[in-house]
Every structure is written in C-alpha cells, then in structure tokens.
Amino acid sequence: MKLTDRYFSRYFFYKLAKHKVLLIVSLVANILALPLMAIITSSSVEGIYNILANLTEEGPLSFETRTALKNLAGSAENAFVICIFVFAALTIISLAAPTVIMSYNSKRSDSDMYLSLPISTKGRFLADSLAGFVIAVLPLAINFLGGFIFIQKAAGVLSEHFELFNSLSVTDLTRLCVCNAYDMFFFAATTGIITVTAVYFTSLFFTCCTGRRAEGIIYSLATPLVALLTINNLVTLILNTTRGITSWPELENIPAHMPVFGTLFAGMGRFTKARTVTSEMVPEVLAFPVSVIISAIIICLLLLFAAYICTKKRKAENTGKPFAIELIYKVIMTLLVVCFVGLLVVSFRNNQSGLAVTILILFAIYMTLQLFHYKSIKKIPMHLLHLVLTSAIAFGGFTLIGLSEGFGYGKYIPNIDAVQSVTVGESYTGFINRDGLIYTDKENIEMVSQLHKKCVADNIETGHQFRITYKLKNGTVVSRSYIDAINVHVDLGKEIGNTLLSSPATIDQVFGGGEISNVEGNFILKEGLTASGLSEEGTKELMEAIKLDGNAKNLTSGKVIGAAELFWSDKDSYNNFSLDITENCENIISVLNNKENYVYSRFNHFYASSEKAAEPDSICMFIENLTDDDFSTDKNFYIRNKDKENDKVKALFELMEFSSYMITQPYHVAVNASTISMCVSEENADEAERLIKEIEAEREKNGDKPDFTDCLLFG
C-alpha cells in the first residue's frame, strides 16, 4: 500500500461502519465474556471474604455457612462457564468476520462494487484484514484489560483458603474460580484471545483463497483438523506410540506449535479440560504455553502473508467458484488422502479394526468433495488416479517412517558419556517443579537413562507429564517426554525411580533452595496414624529431617512403613513432592510422631475453630477395588485413633503396602484424596476384604458407626 493510497483510511472506516452490527455484537459479547465475568467473580469472592472474616462459630462449619460459601463459589464458576460460552460465540464471529467483510471474494455483485473502487489491492486487503481484526479480536483485548481492572479485587484474596474449598465438596473448577480467580481469568482470557486470533487468521486465509462463503468457513474448520491429524499420524509413527493425540515436546511439539492448525481444537480442549478434570487441577491447565503463543503469532503472520498473496493472485472472475486459488484445493485434497492413509498405517500397526471402514470413509469423502467441487462426473477417472497415486506414495512414506521410527528419532537415547547434565521435569512422579531436577553426576544420569530406556522399551505414551532433557557435551539438547512415567517408576520401583527421587541430589534440589512456606502435607505411618497440618516449626523440622535422611540414604534403605505427600510454595512456584518413608528414616519419623508439630489452620477442612492444637486421631480411607470398574463397591472406611488397638485393624495395616505412588493393586486406599496409597497385593486382597467386613460388622454390633466428623482427614 502506498502512503498516497488516499482512500485506505476512508475504506477502512467505511467497512467498520458498514459492519457496525457485527462490531456491536462482538463488543457486547466481549463485555459479557470478560469484564462481566470479572465483576461477578470479584463480587462472589468479596462475599466469601466477608463470611470468613465475620465467622465466630467454633467447631465444624454450619450447614448454612457451608451452603452460603458454596453458593457464592457457584456464582463465580457460573460466570466462568458463561465466559467460556461467550468465547465460543466470539470464535464464531472471528470465523465469519473475514467472509463477511471480504464479501467481494464470494459475491459477484460485491466484487463489481469493491474491486472497481480507487484503492489498491494491497490497501483493500490490509484495510479489510484490519477491519476484521478490529471487529473480531480487538474488543477482546480491550475487554481483557477492562476485566483485569475488576478481577484485581479478587486477586490472591482467597488463595490461603484453598484447603477450605477443597473440603467443601465443590468441583476443582469452582474452587479455582474462587481461590485462583486472577490466574483463571488471565489464562482463560489469553487462551481465548489466542484461539480467536488464530481462528480469525485461518478464516482470513481461506476467505482469500476460496470463492464462496461456505467453502471459506468449511475449509477453515476442516483443513486444520486434517493437517493436525496428518502430523499426529506422523509423530505417532515416529515415536512408536500406540495411543494419544495430544502434544509433544520437540518433535512432539510440532502439532502443539501449529496452533493455527489446531488452536480452535486446542482451545476447546483447554476449556473442556477445565470443566472435567477433577483432581490436581491448576489454573495453568487453561493456558497455552508461551512457546505455543509465540508460534501462534508467527503462524498468524504467515497466514496473513499467504492470504495477501492469494488476494494478489486471485482473479475476480473466480468469485462464486468453490476455490479462487485452485492449487490450495488440490493441496487440501492431497492432505486429506495423506491423513487417511496415515490413519490406516497407524491402525494397521496397532492391529486395530476398522481398516475397511477407514478406506470406505476416505473414498466417500474424497469422491464427494471432488464431485461437489468440479460438478462433473467426467473427471472421475482423474480423481481415482490422484487418489490411488497419492495413497500409494503416502503409504510408502508412512510405512518407511513407521518402520524406521522416524529414522531412529523416536528411540534415540544419548550415550551417557556424552551427557553433561540431564533434567527431569514436569510432575515427575509427584514432584511438580517447572524447572525440573537437574542431575550432573554420572550415577544419576545413568539412572535417568535407565528410566528413559524403560519408557522406550515399554512403548510409553508420549506426552507432557514426565520430561527428560539431556544437555550433551557438544552443546546439543535432546528432549523427550512421556505420560505414563508413574507406572514406569513403579515398575522399576526402588531400583531406579525411587532411588533417584530419594537421592541426596534430588532432596537438595527440592528442599534446598528458597523460602518455603504454606506447607500442607499428608502423612501416614503404618505404626501410628498421623495427619496433615504441620506448624511452621514442624515444617522446618520436617524439611531438615528429610534432608538428613536423604543424605544418609535412609530414604532408600529399609522397609517402607509410610508415605508422605507434601505441598508447599516457594518464592515463585507451587510444589508437590511425594516420598516413601522407610523404617530407617528416624529423623522424619521422629518429626511426624511429635504431636507438638501439628497445628490446624483457622479454616482447615471443616473446622472453623482457630488455633486448635492438633491431635491426629483418625483417618478416613477411601477404598476402591481396582480389579473391577464397579464404583458402587468403593467406599469410605474410617479408622480412628482408638481403633489402633483393635487387632483386626492392626492386622489390616500389616497387609498394607505403602507407596507414595499409585500402584495398580486390587485395593487402593487413598488417604485425604492424595496420592498416598496403601495397597493390598492380590494374594492378600481376600484377607483384607474379610478384615474390613469384620471390623464393620463389629462396629455395627456395638453401635459404633463413625462418620467423617470423627476424622480430621476426609478423603
């Protein structure tokens, strides 16, 4: 666009004025989505704050108080859910905006009107792109800022009451909407903005290369999905995974870093996850990683450029035809075939059924689209030839890549002699730390390498949960991540995983740096019931004890008699760490057995009483039989302090094996909804079940029926 393109601004403002209805709808939707959500959330949080500040009752919270708190929390959640729906509406606006504004690409009469105006092609394109952006995306950004002003009131106010809401039997989403309103707002809004932006530029591109509105919208939605599936097939074959279509670091990150080809789906996934995840949810679940945002911006700019090239190349007479740039259509059709062939190869390798159905679906979709596009049956032989040739080439390519697993990429593990350091990160078996654990000594590097080999050998699903990053001596970085690392860890048991986690190097890194505060923990010792809620002094003592026992290698020697799961925050992150407690951990056991170390915070669990000295006395076990999917057999089983003297309870405890990690055994006992597990092996399952039944029968006979109010811990 020349600076002398005098009509650029006039054209731009004319288009904004012409589409003012769309602009108003977008603005109203945005106001509903962000500032309104922020106002409702802030108001709810303020209400909750007032209730808690004026609380005078002692003992368990009254029903009325709990109900009031839950109602207010529910309002915050509802606002958030409405916000998600409005984002969906905004996505539709961003999808439609380019086709409406660039109507001359789909309507012949409009092409006569706009293309004859005294404005250059470039000027017209930029003005229209900008007008669409202003309508679909800019109000979102403005309201995002507006929302921030209102949400400030809710920021951090209730984060200290996280546990209170945890115990109110509200969903994770409700709890987060109240306790982490600020973070939730930030992540939801940024994800929404990125999604809407990515959808807008995708639609812009397809509007510029198609000749009809329907094609513009359909291909804006369908092509990213096909592209994403194609890449996913490729990555699945390379990494030799048998499941999973999510995202992967490094090579695996390609689909995740192609947000414009998948942002809509990824964005939907983020919000869906926020609605469905029921444990260990953090506000970050809503967020796109920064790298994804950066690549989204880059790809949006590339799409803008591609849209401009299409605008320059397209001819006005192609308005009204399905595609103005026929090459794009051919690429999409080829991609469709490649995608289905990839699915076939992946299905074939996994011995999955439905090959014939997949072929039939491909044939039906392909031929329907071709006939719809060309409106002629004369070209059917050509279509068939294209289908067969493309399929053959794609099949060959996928097979080669699959057989060689990406020419060795998928199973590559660096030689430990070449490794300078290795970082294990991202919720590695219970330890959540964004930076990860770094090992530089050969012994631990060897252990990580062993763990990695196990992941590769066991064909573990790739994903985000467990990430290994090798920094090689030659400066290169090799990074892989896996989802099922917990099971790998369990399989390897004490030999590698626990040894690595309990090694002095790990303990030093986990507890060695920074100011630690807000420690919450779940502890259980076989020899004596303990509970959470350490005092500040107790926390310090426990940290020291862990370090002492870690350095003395007590964590890795001797019989496991208990487990601990700790949550704490340091200066910049919220951490979680699980460890097994062995009989040799004298320091830890001593701290945990010292009742002076326990205290309950003012609003801990169901108790409103302040400064109540803790006396860990009871636990509630949540018992589930993992051998079947019958959830009706799952139940709460309460063990109080006084039960410790009961021979049958003692016998039951003797049958239990402890682990800070989930183990797939017949009986899984989760304490305090944490990952601490007491498991009964298969051979002891019947005996454990018999004991539980007998204990329950005895209690019934004696009219001794405990409920959750008897327990300090509730699972």
Partner 1 sequence: MIKIQNVTKKFGAQNALDNLTLEIEKGCAYGLLGSNGAGKSTLLRLLSGIYIQDSGSITIDDIPVYDNPALKEKIFFVSDDTAQFTGMTLLQMKDFVKTFYKTYNEEVFNSLWEILKLPLDKKLSDFSKGMRRQAVVICGLSACTEYLLLDEAFDGLDPAMRYAVKQMLVDAIIDRGVTVIISSHNLKEIEEFCDTVGLIHEGKVIFSRELDSVKGNIHKVQTSFPEEVSKEDFADIDNIEILSLKSSGSVTALVIKGSTEDIEKAMEGKNARFCDIIPLSLEEIFIYEMKGAGYNYEID
Binding site for partner 1 (CB under 8 A): 5-7, 10-11, 14, 107-113, 115-121, 123, 315-317
Q: Least distance (Å) from partner 1 to the CB of residue 334?
A: 22
Q: Least distance (Å) from partner 1 to the CB of residue 120?
A: 5
The continuous run of DSSP H or E covering 421 comes out as strand 419-425
Q: Least distance (Å) from partner 1 to the CB of residue 314?
A: 10
Q: Least distance (Å) from partner 1 to the CB of residue 329?
A: 15
Take residue 508 and report the two structure tokens written for it: 């030093």
Q: Least distance (Å) from partner 1 to the CB of residue 108?
A: 7
**Cβ atoms of 648 and 695 closer than 8 Å:** yes
Identity of the residue, 125 or 201, whose beta carbon is nearer to partner 1 in the bound complex: 125
Q: Residue 334: helix, strand or coil by DSSP?
A: helix
Identity of the residue, 123 or 497, whose beta carbon is nearer to partner 1 in the bound complex: 123
Q: Least distance (Å) from partner 1 to the CB of residue 373?
A: 14
Residue 670's beta-bridge partner residues?
A: 622, 677
Identity of the residue, 111 or 391, whose beta carbon is nearer to partner 1 in the bound complex: 111
Is residue 234 exposed (0-12), middle (13-18) or buried (19+ Cβ within 10 Å)? buried
Identity of the residue, 104 or 653, whose beta carbon is nearer to partner 1 in the bound complex: 104
Identity of the residue, 90 or 101, whose beta carbon is nearer to partner 1 in the bound complex: 101
Helix, strand counts (H, E) of the chain:
25, 12
Residue by residue, what is the 3-state secondary structure of 368-393? HHHHHHHCCCCCHHHHHHHHHHHHHH
Identity of the residue, 4 or 474, whose beta carbon is nearer to partner 1 in the bound complex: 4
Q: Least distance (Å) from partner 1 to the CB of residue 111?
A: 6
CA distance 467 to 480: 6
Q: Residue 623: helix, strand or coil by DSSP?
A: strand
Q: Least distance (Å) from partner 1 to the CB of residue 336?
A: 24
Take residue 43 and report the two structure tokens written for it: 């108001």
Nearest Cα residue to 516 out of 574, 477, 467: 574
Q: Which residues contact 381 (CB under 8 A, 6 or more apart)?
A: none
Within 10 angstroms of residue 514's Cβ, the number of other Cβ atoms is 12
Identity of the residue, 111 or 674, whose beta carbon is nearer to partner 1 in the bound complex: 111
Residue 527's beta-bridge partner residues?
A: none
Identity of the residue, 109 or 709, whose beta carbon is nearer to partner 1 in the bound complex: 109
Is residue 145 exposed (0-12), middle (13-18) or buried (19+ Cβ within 10 Å)? exposed
Q: Least distance (Å) from partner 1 to the CB of residue 384?
A: 23
**Cβ atoms of 79 and 86 closer than 8 Å:** no
CA distance 252 to 258: 11
Q: Which residues contact 436 (CB under 8 A, 6 or more apart)?
A: 423, 424, 425, 426, 428, 467, 469
Identity of the residue, 21 or 613, whose beta carbon is nearer to partner 1 in the bound complex: 21
Q: Least distance (Å) from partner 1 to the CB of residue 90?
A: 25
Take residue 617 and report the two structure tokens written for it: 């006395």
Q: Which residues contact 347 (CB under 8 A, 6 or more apart)?
A: 353, 354, 355, 358
Identity of the residue, 14 or 622, whose beta carbon is nearer to partner 1 in the bound complex: 14
Q: Which residues contact 476 (CB under 8 A, 6 or more apart)?
A: none
In one-letter notation, the amino acid at residue 92 is I
- Note the Cα 362 to chain centre separation in Å: 32
Identity of the residue, 114 or 340, whose beta carbon is nearer to partner 1 in the bound complex: 114
Identity of the residue, 116 or 279, whose beta carbon is nearer to partner 1 in the bound complex: 116
Q: Least distance (Å) from partner 1 to the CB of residue 251?
A: 43
**Angle in degrees, CA 335, 196, 273, rounded to 5:** 85
Identity of the residue, 87 or 329, whose beta carbon is nearer to partner 1 in the bound complex: 329
Buried b (16+ CB within 10 A) or exposed e, 57-77: eeeebeeeebeebbebbbbbb
Q: Least distance (Å) from partner 1 to the CB of residue 369?
A: 20
Identity of the residue, 10 or 349, whose beta carbon is nearer to partner 1 in the bound complex: 10
Helix ranges (H only) for 154-258 are 162-166, 172-179, 181-209, 213-239, 253-256
Nearest Cα residue to 478 out of 445, 505, 516, 526: 445
Q: Least distance (Å) from partner 1 to the CB of residue 21?
A: 11
Q: Least distance (Å) from partner 1 to the CB of residue 312?
A: 9
Identity of the residue, 128 or 252, whose beta carbon is nearer to partner 1 in the bound complex: 128
Q: Least distance (Å) from partner 1 to the CB of residue 29?
A: 23
Identity of the residue, 5 or 461, whose beta carbon is nearer to partner 1 in the bound complex: 5
Residue with tokens 């509630």: 620
Residue 508, CA distances (Å) to 447, 504, 514, 543 in order: 17, 6, 11, 10
Nearest Cα residue to 528 out of 456, 461, 592, 437: 592
Q: Least distance (Å) from partner 1 to the CB of residue 10?
A: 5
Q: Least distance (Å) from partner 1 to the CB of residue 360?
A: 33
Identity of the residue, 110 or 696, whose beta carbon is nearer to partner 1 in the bound complex: 110
Identity of the residue, 110 or 710, whose beta carbon is nearer to partner 1 in the bound complex: 110
CA distance 355 to 11: 53
Residue 505, CA distances (Å) to 73, 152, 439, 445 in order: 42, 40, 7, 11
Residue 635's beta-bridge partner residues?
A: 623
Q: Least distance (Å) from partner 1 to the CB of residue 385?
A: 21
